[in-house]
């Protein structure tokens, strides 16, 4: 075994676990294991000796190859690829040899932070066959401090895949079946396991490590599958894949209007845009048919694939493309073509075309949309091989017209200057470009038909994506109306953001606190920037999940303190560990449960594992300044549980020598807690209603089950009546009540909650400006009248219609 290579801090800052990064591609280690640093300096330096093998064209990331062959990716900030290079100044080029501490990339922290989601910088071990050792997160580090060591792992022996098969029958719960991102997640889940797993659908089967092979199975919602695995980790592999197939579909909430293919235009991303028509024009390069020495062509293909991977940005779509670039079946097809004398470029293009034909042959419109992803990864590799196409410039603000647009083409257009909108003759409402457009707030219409391709270059057009209308050369009246609507939308957004930092009051002056829900240190910074007046819910389980060992006292204390510091003294409400059989901890034995939602979760697990909860409470008790942290218990059902929990908090404070009482609250998530709110409020310092769980328990509808998920609506009269019962009981003792479920950010719910007596709303940071803006337009009397009528309604749909009718234009968002 070669000696370990130490990786050092590329700048001073706060070191944390990769799971704290606010992006699932990094947080879920899809790119590989690693750590992350919140920087305190404006220069990224080499963490070790190595060679620069990739440098993002936008200057926001760099990949180094170490002496032992491992590769380390350093990625400054999250969503920084969208900055198009603004704020970054690379000091090296691909091929440069660098030494530890050498300057790699300078950056302007203020400029980058203003345009990015976070400055937190992942440092990722992006090479299979290597492992991190001696990594200790949650601490302050100086530039050059040791972070972790990289060691080569021994290859699995051939007989590791021997033994009896482990099998499991599963029914697909994913609403859209196994499409690109679930397929990529499945492959990623198997990356560190010694197992060969086949997914069998009737007479067809596929290697679970191959996203493309999984796609060609055309697995749909409610299909029955057989999972069969061999190898030392066969049981873990089957368990991991079965859990993923049972998850809710990521696409179900990523595309604003996912719809089946239609005969007319379809909205893929809502919005209004006005601008000149710009046709997307690509000049394709020539690809040689014959290659040279097969070994050299294989080496060239490997290098091109690795370079293409290194250039991919953030997000689930990039993860799906990364999985395609590393797909074992594509690679095998390409290698066979190379061995037959073809060039690396010709072989790779042919391999992707073979799988594209297989996807088309399924006849499944959603899978056919994935053909664009195959074309995209083919083009990325061809570009690295020197055979790529050239994209003609597109003016910023233009309405892009094309038959279809690849994700990489969209990213290139976005970097050059955001387009006004996209109008595609083909495409699909659930394509990856549709998701990218929705995330970027770019209006987009798909399946508009070939007639749109005749639009004159440079002609002024109006794209009303919400209405699926594309109008070229509109008459003056229509153009003026569209310009007025666009100006009003922008003015609303600017007005909301301008007042986001001000305290929230109703139109009659009633103070309503608007807090933020957090899940990591980075979220706290975003919440403060968005105008949060405190944290109404810190989901502390982010520290405990996806790891092999329990977080120690020091790690927990440092993390909680970092979040409290980021909140600058504002209230920080922390929910104690809320896990169970549905979110198991690898280091705590948890037997499988038939119904985890009704099992040993939340406070029940805390009481069953008192040492686990006592350590968390001890860490929370030491956070400074005293009084900032407030602790609440999840899944409480009666006063006896509250008393036991309060005693544990008091004991932790006493052992820590903390004299200031720590406020203790209760999560109202069960109908029992809502009905007994008067008893709980008599002894609690505050109550916080978790509308997500309260709704599923009240309506007997599992929010993780696609068959019942559509029933989950916190505006159902039954749920509203439980909230009313809770606020009435709390008012008897002057106990404040907040909302930390998703209803707190729903503009249709906000006036009802205020009318029912809620004094604090805690939502995601992105909803704060809109919630505060709405509160300023309603009076308490109006909210109470509206809530009273909602309690008498027959259904959630009737309640929503009631609010829309009463508030009208006040519900408009920027």
Please tell me which residue, 514 or 586, carries the higher pLDDT value: 514
Looking at the predicted structure, is the pLDDT value of residue 780 above 90? yes
Looking at the predicted structure, is the pLDDT value of residue 97 above 90? yes
**For residue 264, what pLDDT is reported?**
67
Tell me the angle at which helices 371-384 and 316-325 cross, rounded to the nearest 10 degrees: 70
pLDDT band at 254 (very low <50, low <70, confident <90, very high): very low
Residues forming the active site = 432, 740
Torsion of CA 328, 58, 444, 440, to 10 degrees: 100
pLDDT band at 557 (very low <50, low <70, confident <90, very high): very high
Count the residues in the chain: 814
pLDDT band at 250 (very low <50, low <70, confident <90, very high): very low
CA distance 484 to 499: 23
CA distance 585 to 606: 13
**For residue 259, what pLDDT is reported?**
35
> Would you give the distance in Å from CA 444 to the centre of its chain?
22
CB 577 within 8 A of CB 544: yes
**Three-state secondary-structure class, residue 121:** strand
Give 582: exposed, middle or buried? Use CB within 10 Å, 0-12, 13-18, 19+. middle
What's the rounded mean pLDDT across residues 219-248? 80
Angle, CA of 329, 330 and 336, to the nearest 5°: 90
> Could you write out the DSSP letters of every residue in 128-140?
TTEEEES---SEE
Give the domain 158-253 fold.
Answer: 3.30.1340
pLDDT band at 508 (very low <50, low <70, confident <90, very high): very high
CB 345 within 8 A of CB 378: no
* Residue 60, phi then psi, degrees to nearest 5: -95, -10
CA distance 360 to 546: 37
CA distance 172 to 418: 38
Each domain of the chain, given as residue ranges in start order, spans: 5-152, 158-253, 255-281+391-473, 285-388, 503-589+598-811
The share of the chain scoring above pLDDT 90, in percent, equals: 36
Q: Which two tokens stand for residue 365?
A: 């419109």
Looking at the predicted structure, is the pLDDT value of residue 192 above 70? no
Q: Which two tokens stand for residue 48?
A: 């070790």
Q: What are the respective helix, strand and coil percentages of the chain, to the nearest 5?
A: 40, 20, 40
What's the rounded mean pLDDT across residues 642-648? 96
β-sheet with 166-171: strand ranges across: 166-171, 224-230, 196-201, 204-207
β-sheet with 103-107: strand ranges across: 43-45, 103-107, 88-90
Looking at the predicted structure, is the pLDDT value of residue 614 above 90? yes
Closest to 344 in 3D by CA, of 390, 316, 306: 306
CA distance 224 to 172: 6
Q: Which two tokens stand for residue 383?
A: 């570009």
Long-range contacts of 640-643 (CB under 8 A, 24+ apart): 641/603, 641/607, 642/666, 642/680, 642/683, 642/684, 643/683
Q: Is 312 left (phi over 0), alpha (psi -120 to 50) or beta?
A: beta
Q: How many CB atoms lie within 10 A of CB 393?
A: 12
β-sheet with 130-133: strand ranges across: 5-8, 146-152, 130-133
**For residue 554, what pLDDT is reported?**
92
**For residue 432, what pLDDT is reported?**
67
pLDDT band at 129 (very low <50, low <70, confident <90, very high): low
**Three-state secondary-structure class, residue 4:** coil
**For residue 253, what pLDDT is reported?**
36
CA distance 251 to 246: 14
Question: Could you name the CATH architecture of 5-152?
Answer: Distorted Sandwich (2.70)
CATH number belonging to domain 503-589+598-811: 3.20.20.60
Looking at the predicted structure, is the pLDDT value of residue 148 above 80? yes
Q: Is the peptide bond before 625 cis (omega within 30 degrees of 0)?
A: yes
CA distance 323 to 128: 13
Please tell me which residue, 427 or 262, carries the higher pLDDT value: 427
Q: Which residues contact 428 (CB under 8 A, 6 or more apart)?
A: 261, 268, 365, 366, 368, 369, 434, 446, 447
**Range ranked top by mean pLDDT from 513-522, 535-544, 545-554, 639-648:** 639-648
Q: CATH classification of 255-281+391-473, choosing from 3.40.605.10, 3.40.640.10, 3.30.565.10, 3.50.30.10?
A: 3.50.30.10
Asked if the 285-388 domain carries CATH number 1.10.274.10, the reply is yes
**For residue 410, what pLDDT is reported?**
85
Please tell me which residue, 338 or 203, carries the higher pLDDT value: 338
Say whether pTM exceeds 0.85: no
CA distance 204 to 217: 7
Q: Which helix (H) or strand (E) holds 358?
A: helix 344-362
């Amino acid at each position: 075994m070669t000696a370990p290579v130490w990786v050092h801090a590329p700048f001073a800052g706060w070191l944390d676990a990769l799971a704290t990064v606010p992006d699932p591609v990094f947080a879920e280690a899809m790119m590989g294991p690693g750590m992350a640093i919140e920087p305190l300096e404006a220069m990224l330096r080499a963490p070790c000796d190595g060679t620069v093998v990739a440098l993002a064209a936008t200057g926001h990331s760099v990949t180094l190859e170490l002496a032992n062959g491992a590769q380390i990716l350093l990625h400054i900030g999250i969503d920084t690829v969208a900055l198009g290079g603004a704020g970054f100044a690379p000091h090296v080029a691909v091929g440069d040899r660098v030494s530890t501490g050498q300057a790699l990339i300078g950056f302007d922290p203020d400029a980058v932070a203003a345009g990015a989601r976070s400055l937190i910088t992942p440092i990722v071990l992006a090479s299979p066959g290597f492992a991190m050792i001696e990594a200790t997160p949650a601490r302050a580090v100086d530039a050059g401090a040791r972070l972790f060591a990289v060691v080569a792992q021994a290859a699995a022996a051939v007989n590791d895949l021997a033994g009896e098969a482990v099998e499991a029958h599963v029914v697909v719960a994913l609403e859209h079946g196994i499409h690109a991102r679930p397929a990529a997640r499945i492959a990623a889940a198997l990356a560190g396991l010694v197992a060969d797993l086949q997914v069998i659908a009737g007479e067809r089967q596929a290697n679970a490590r191959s996203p493309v092979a999984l796609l060609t199975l055309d697995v749909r919602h409610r299909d029955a599958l057989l999972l069969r695995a061999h190898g030392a980790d066969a049981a873990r592999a089957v368990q991991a894949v079965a859990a993923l197939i049972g998850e809710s579909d990521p696409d179900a909430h990523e595309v604003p209007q996912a719809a089946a293919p239609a005969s007319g235009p379809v909205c893929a991303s809502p919005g209004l845009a006005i601008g000149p028509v710009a046709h997307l024009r690509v000049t394709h390069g020539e690809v040689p048919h014959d290659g040279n020495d097969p070994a050299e062509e294989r080496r060239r293909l490997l290098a091109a694939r690795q370079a293409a991977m290194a250039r991919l940005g953030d997000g689930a779509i990039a993860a799906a493309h990364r999985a395609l670039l590393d797909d074992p079946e594509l690679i095998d097809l390409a290698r066979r073509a190379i061995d037959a004398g073809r060039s690396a470029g010709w072989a790779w293009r042919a391999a992707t075309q073979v799988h594209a034909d297989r996807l088309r042959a399924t006849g499944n419109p959603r899978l056919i949309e994935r053909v664009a992803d195959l074309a995209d990864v083919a083009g990325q590799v061809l570009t690295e091989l020197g055979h790529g196409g050239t994209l003609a410039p597109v003016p910023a603000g233009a309405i892009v017209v094309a038959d279809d647009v690849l994700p990489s083409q969209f990213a290139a257009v976005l970097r050059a200057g955001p387009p006004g909108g996209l109008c595609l003759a083909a495409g699909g409402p659930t394509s990856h470009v549709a998701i990218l457009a929705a995330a970027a707030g770019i209006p987009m219409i798909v399946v508009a038909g070939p007639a749109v391709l005749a639009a004159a270059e440079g002609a002024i057009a109006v794209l009303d994506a919400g209405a699926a209308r594309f109008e070229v050369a509109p008459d003056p009246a229509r153009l003026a109306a569209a310009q007025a609507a666009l100006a009003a939308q922008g003015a609303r957004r600017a007005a909301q953001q301008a007042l986001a930092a001000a305290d929230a009051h109703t139109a009659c002056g009633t103070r309503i606190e608007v807090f933020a829900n957090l899940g990591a240190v980075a979220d706290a910074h975003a919440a403060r920037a968005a105008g949060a007046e405190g944290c109404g819910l810190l989901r502390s389980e982010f520290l405990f999940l996806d790891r092999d060992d329990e977080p120690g006292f020091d790690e927990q204390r440092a993390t909680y303190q970092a979040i409290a510091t980021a909140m600058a003294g504002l209230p920080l409400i922390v929910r104690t560990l809320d896990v169970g059989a549905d979110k198991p901890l690898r280091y705590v034995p948890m037997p499988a449960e038939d119904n985890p939602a009704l099992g040993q979760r939340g406070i029940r697990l805390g009481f069953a594992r008192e040492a686990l909860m006592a350590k968390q409470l001890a860490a929370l008790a030491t956070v400074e300044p005293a009084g900032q942290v407030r602790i609440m218990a999840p899944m409480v059902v009666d006063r006896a549980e509250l008393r036991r929990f309060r005693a544990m908090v008091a004991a932790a404070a006493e052992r820590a020598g903390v004299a200031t009482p720590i406020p203790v609250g209760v999560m109202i998530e069960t109908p029992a807690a809502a009905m007994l709110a008067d008893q709980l409020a008599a002894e609690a310092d505050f109550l916080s209603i978790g509308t997500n769980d309260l709704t599923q328990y009240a309506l007997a509808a599992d929010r993780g089950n696609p068959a019942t998920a559509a029933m989950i609506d916190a505006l159902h009269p039954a749920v509203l009546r439980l909230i009313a019962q809770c606020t009435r009981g709390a008012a008897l003792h002057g106990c404040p009540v907040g909302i930390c479920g998703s209803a707190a950010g729903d503009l249709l719910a906000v006036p009802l909650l205020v009318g029912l007596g809620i004094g604090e709303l805690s939502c995601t940071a992105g909803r704060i400006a809109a919630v505060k803006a709405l509160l300023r337009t309603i009076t308490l009397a109006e909210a109470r009248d509206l809530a009273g009528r909602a309690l008498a309604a027959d259904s959630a749909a009737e309640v929503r219609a009631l609010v829309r009718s009463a508030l009208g234009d006040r519900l408009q968002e920027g």
